Structure 1
Amino acid sequence: MGMIIEDGTGLHDAASYIALADADAYHLASRNDAWLAPDIEVDFREAALVRATRFIDARYRARFPGYRRRGRGQALEWPRVGAYTYVPEDGRTAYTGTAYGWDRGYEAIPETEIPRELKDAVCEAALRELAEPGSLAPDLERGGGIQSITAGSVSVTYGAGATAGTTFQAVGMAIAPLLIPATAGVGRAVRD
């Protein structure tokens, strides 16, 4: 049985936001030759898409706007109800849940849509995961707080505030328009 793709209905068994053919087209257009190398089997590329989808959901779920369309009945974080994206200098408005309610410059995302930004981020993450399986979420020794490492005559020292994990810039930039800003003092209120 092949990889099950989320179609916008909130499938209980979806494994990826994007089909392999669409990921292939993305990487072809981006000239990411490593993705389409003839010696890489389809199963490995599909597995990379599944791991990338899991990574995106785990890393960004708290910053996705809205809530799951089918709650815990769906396997992935999208599709979502009440989701929106920021569109600079756009006259449209969307309900953002802020004190002002409806805000200019935001565009509502239909509750059956899997946004292009999300699919692009999965493609970027899958490329990294294909090159080095497990690289998106590696196990970190001792919390990952290594400050310096030496190999032979080469030494690298990290700053005290350096993160333990790798920052995947292309993934973050692709998904940024979908995320609620991570600003101190911003949160969601839940009333019973």
Structure 2
Amino acid sequence: MSVSFYGTLAAADAYFADRGKAGWAAASDSDRLAALVRGSQAIDALYEPRFTGRRTGGYDQVLSWPRSGATTVNGAVIADDATPLPVTYAAYEAAALELSEPGSLTPVIVAARTVKREKVGPLETEYAVADTSDDMIASAKPVLTMLDGLLYPLLRPVLPGILVV
């Protein structure tokens, strides 16, 4: 396994071959490797706050996994030196998205450039505008159902808010 990304290029190639994703194999080795790095970084950026446990090698560890004290949603203990297969598969899926559209998983948001209304001839479009910068960031993040499904067993459960009076 690389220090810069989850899994290996050969394993990613086999993963996509099994799924009939020819676009992956058509890219150069360097493009696929760069996509694996960006995909792994996106997994860590989007999901690390919801992973259980903490980085085994401390904060200086490049990737979020392996983790110590990590468990599945069902309470199964994950070995301190293990990177669960769903993390690797999610990184491969994120890499495929990054290969097809670099930067799509980590959008850059500039509030001053957000268009609320656009008119071209007789056609007019008005875009939804977020009230706060947090709302704007949340609305710009992609919804990644495939990744959510793969990583679900490794994420902290989302509990409804509890109001104490």
Do both proteins adopt the same fold according to a TM-score greater than 0.5, normalized to the shorter chain?
yes
State the distance in 2 between where 1:19 and 1:79 align.
15
Residue segments in structure 1 that go unaligned for 5+ positions in a row: 6-13, 87-104, 187-192
Alignment of 1:115-126 (within 5 A): 115-126=84-95
Partner of 2:147: 171
Partner of 2:12: 23
State the distance in 1 between where 2:148 and 2:70 align.
18
CA drift of 1:147 comes to 5.7
For the pair 1:138 / 2:135, whether they are aligned, the reply is: no
Alignment of 1:6-155 (within 5 A): 14-37=3-26, 40-86=27-73, 105-142=74-111, 153=123, 155=125
State the distance in 1 between where 2:154 and 2:147 align.
12
Q: Deviations over 1:123-176 (max 9, x none)?
A: 110000000111110211208866666677484755867822321221222112
State the distance in 1 between where 2:113 and 2:84 align.
33
Partner of 1:9: none
Higher strand fraction: Structure 1 or Structure 2?
1
> What SS class does the counterpart of residue 99 from structure 2 fall into?
helix
State the distance in 2 between where 1:149 and 1:109 align.
51
Note if contact 1:52-1:122 (Cα within 8 Å) is conserved in structure 2.
yes
Q: Deviations over 1:58-90 (max 9, x none)?
A: 11111110111121242111101111113xxxx
The amino acid across from 2:10 in the alignment is A
Residue segments in structure 2 that go unaligned for 5+ positions in a row: none
The sequence identity of aligned pairs, in percent, is 35
> What SS class does the counterpart of residue 72 from structure 1 fall into?
coil
Q: Deviations over 1:107-138 (max 9, x none)?
A: 11111111011011101100000001111102
State the distance in 2 between where 1:167 and 1:50 align.
20
- Structure 1 length as normaliser, TM-score? 0.70
The amino acid across from 1:68 in the alignment is R
Higher helix fraction: Structure 1 or Structure 2?
2
- Structure 2 length as normaliser, TM-score? 0.80
Question: How many residues align structurally?
Answer: 155
Note if contact 2:54-2:67 (Cα within 8 Å) is conserved in structure 1.
yes
Note if contact 1:148-1:158 (Cα within 8 Å) is conserved in structure 2.
no
